Amino acid sequence: MASNLVTTGQLGESLGVTHTRVADIIRNADDFPDPEVILPNGTRLWRKQVALRWFEEHPRRKYERRTDSVSTAAAEKP
């Protein structure tokens, strides 16, 4: 069962974003699933399939890194 549980860091790795970004999304999403387990040290664990399904069901623009506008702006500077 433990292999089915993931941290924000592991979710971030799956999504290509940082654990901080995942934590921000979870904090701001009223409908994100509750963690399956909260360890004594405060680490929250979600069922991987449930958490990833939530991300699939929500628009990518809400969690994808915005590198396109940053790199475009950098390329336009003299």
- Taking only the tens place, the pLDDT of each residue in 7-33 is 999 999 998 889 999 999 999 888 999
pTM above 0.85, yes or no: no
Beta strands in 1-78 (DSSP E): 5-6, 37-38, 44-47
Domain 2-76 top-level CATH class: mainly alpha
- Count CB neighbours of 67 within 10 A: 8
- For the chain, give every domain's residue range: 2-76
The pLDDT confidence band at residue 58, using thresholds 50, 70 and 90, is confident
